[in-house]
């Protein structure tokens, strides 16, 4: 212990003139409290940050967002476009009717019909591709109309079968004289 005390004494004697022994003025505590209470206006970086974040967000969306919307085919003639529109409206109406008939008994029929409609749609897309590639000619227009007619008649046939099944179910419990 004595050895440590001697080391400490030597250190203090060596640093004797280097200590800051100046006394603070009497108003020091008041000045300190005023500085604590003084509210500096905060800089409003949030506005600049919000603008920068918006710009970054818009750039990110524009770079990474791919517009996967399929190209709408532009027909060369108004008649072809009108025919396509009318048939597609009829097909959509028949699909709505088919989905309205959805029930546990009809589920398998409807699922099979929707799979077949996907096949018809894939064929239709091939026809449209040929139409874009080769332009409008009688064979391609005929194939397009034939595909659309086939889809409509197929949906009508499926709806008729569902209705027949429902009638058969309702009449199977009745006795006829």
CB 144 within 8 Å of CB 123: no
CB 126 within 8 Å of CB 73: no
Dihedrals phi, psi of 148, to nearest 5 degrees: -65, -45
Residue 32 confidence (pLDDT): 78
- Give the model confidence (pLDDT) of 50-102 as tens digits: 777 778 777 777 776 655 444 455 666 778 788 888 888 888 888 888 888 88
Among candidate residues 87, 78, 75, 77, the one with its CA nearest the CA of residue 150: 87
What is the rounded CA–CA span in Å between residue 162 and residue 164? 5
pLDDT at 109 over 70: yes
Please, is 128 exposed, middle or buried when counting C-beta atoms within 10 Å of its C-beta (0-12, 13-18, 19+)? middle
pLDDT at 153 over 60: yes
């Amino acid at each position: 212990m004595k050895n440590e005390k001697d080391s400490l004494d030597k250190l203090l004697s060596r640093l004797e003139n280097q200590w800051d022994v100046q006394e603070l003025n009497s108003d020091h505590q008041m000045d300190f409290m005023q500085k604590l209470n003084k509210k500096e206006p905060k800089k409003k970086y949030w506005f600049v940050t919000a603008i920068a974040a918006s710009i970054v967000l818009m750039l990110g969306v524009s770079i990474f967002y791919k517009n996967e919307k399929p190209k709408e085919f532009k027909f060369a003639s108004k008649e072809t476009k009108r025919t396509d529109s009318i048939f597609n409206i009829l097909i959509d109406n028949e699909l709505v009717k088919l989905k309205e008939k959805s029930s546990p008994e009809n589920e398998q029929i409807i699922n099979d019909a929707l799979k077949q409609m996907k096949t018809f749609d894939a064929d239709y897309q091939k026809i449209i591709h040929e139409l874009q590639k080769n332009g409008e000619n009688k064979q391609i227009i005929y194939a397009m109309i034939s595909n659309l007619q086939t889809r409509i008649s197929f949906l009508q046939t499926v709806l008729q079968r569902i209705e027949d099944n429902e009638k058969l179910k309702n009449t199977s419990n009745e006795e006829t004289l």
